[in-house]
Amino acid sequence: MICLGIESTAHTIGIGILDNKKILSDQRSMYTTEKGGIIPSEAALHHKKVKKELLSKALEEAKLNVKDVDLISFSQGPGLSPSLLIGKEFAKYLALKYNKPLAGVNHLCGHLEEGKFFTKAKDPVFVFVSGANTQIIAHEGNKYRVFGEALSVGLGNALDKFGRGVGLGFPAGPKIEQLAKKGKYIEIPYVVKGMDVEFSGIVTHCINLYKKGVAVEDLCYSLQETGFAMLIEVTERALAHTGKNEALLIGGVAANQRFVEMLNTMCNDRGAKAYACPLKYSGDNGVQIAIAGIMQYKSGYNIFKTKQQIGNADINPNWRIDGVETPWIRK
């Protein structure tokens, strides 16, 4: 089965083509800014501008025509509505024009299934840390359940917010990782509430320290050490609670080597296995939407087949992962 997956939840529009387990193409285009954060309407404008060219590139890379594809899948949510709308309209247009079924994929589910696809993890505790999302998730009782999460801003966005406050531009995560290598630890707040974490106060605290003249390298280092340690603590407790023995790091922040190192250390200490989604696939991409799309199609979940169903398919900007049914997972 060949699936064409379209990702467009935030800053990246991606088109991936998958033939069951074989990736035929992976094309992406990211909206970036030199200074300041993501402006949703501008990100959507970017996606609108590049979508057709991206599709041509993806088809060329796969050496296919849309006619050869069996299924179109798109990220239905959660995400920024203006970005989601561009992907949805494009997916619907292709499904209707070429008479193909359409799968509405939960973006987080795409990340989770992609993490398993690329690693040997079978039933892990997922440490999902992207821009907007920071959640510790595991599959229990026929659903992906959230065991802990960021109460306000996700860690990726928190790092970006800090970056904006100290003039690093967007996305700030990779720049913070580099600067942290030259920094030393200074004490900043550590905020774990039950199984949840809270980053916004820490970011404000760090920006205030920067304004008082504290070196940006020291702040980068301390922000990373503290934020990552908070998540590792919650992950360890989720492993203990669920009795699982695998942890899988996914989402854009998984690109951070210090984070991977800290997760490895914790897992080694308790005899669990740590996995990280390969760097190339840790951020948003169309392949993840194709992977989940095929699983959904085979199990019949959230598939739009008739012209009327496809016409009515809509985005779901607040679709939580624990609201997804997972009939393709059998235990």
Chain positions contacting ligand ATP, by CB under 6 A: 9-11, 79, 130-133, 156-157, 159-160, 171-174, 177, 251-253, 255-256, 283-284
Minimum CB separation of residue 304 from ligand ATP in Å reads 23
Report the C-alpha dihedral over residues 231, 237, 243, 248, rounded to 10 degrees. Answer: 10
In angstroms, the CA 247 to CA 238 distance is 10
Q: Nearer Cβ to ligand ATP, position 61 or 174?
A: 174
Minimum distance, C-beta of residue 80 to ligand ATP, in the bound complex (Å): 8
User: Rounded to the nearest 5 degrees, what angle is found at the Cα of 10, between the Cα atoms of 4 and 14?
Assistant: 25
Taking the least distance from each CB to ligand ATP, the nearer of 124 and 156 is: 156
CA–CA dist 218, 220 (Å, integer):
5
Instruction: Kindly state the smallest distance separating residue 64's Cβ from ligand ATP, in Å.
Output: 26
- CA-to-CA distance for 191 and 301, rounded, in angstroms? 38
CB of 14 to ligand ATP, least distance (A): 10
| Alpha helices, DSSP H, located in 63-106 | 81-98
Query: Residue 15 Cβ, how far from ligand ATP at the closest point, in Å?
Result: 15
Q: Which two tokens stand for residue 320?
A: 């939580």
Nearest residue (CB) to ligand ATP, 130 versus 316: 130
- Minimum CB separation of residue 10 from ligand ATP in Å reads 4
Q: Pick between residue 115 and residue 252 the one whose CB is nearest to ligand ATP.
A: 252
CA distance 138 to 248: 10
Per the DSSP assignment, residues forming a β-bridge with 5 are 16, 73
- The single residue listed with the structure tokens 């998984």 is 254
The two three-digit tokens of residue 126, written as one number = 């997922």
Nearer CB in complex with ligand ATP: 69/287: 287
Element (H, E) at 249: strand 246-250
Residue in the structure block whose two tokens are 């205030």: 208
Q: Nearest residue to ligand ATP, using CB?
A: 252
**Do 179 and 163 touch, CB atoms closer than 8 A?**
no
Q: Which is nearer to ligand ATP, 5 or 79 (CB)?
A: 79
Q: Which two tokens stand for residue 108?
A: 């987080």
Question: In this complex, which beta carbon is closest to ligand ATP, that of residue 256 or of residue 296?
Answer: 256
Please, what is the Cα angle at 79 between 75 and 80, to 5 degrees?
120
CB-nearer residue toward ligand ATP: 133 or 226:
133
CA 264 – CA 281 distance, rounded (Å): 19
Closer Cβ to ligand ATP, 100 or 161, answer by number? 161
Residue 187 C-beta: closest distance to ligand ATP, Å:
21
Closest CA relative to residue 103, chosen from 321, 291, 319: 291
Start-to-end CA distance of the chain, whole Å, equals 24
| Residue 11 beta carbon to ligand ATP: minimum distance, rounded to whole angstroms | 6
Least gap, CB of 174 to ligand ATP (angstroms): 4
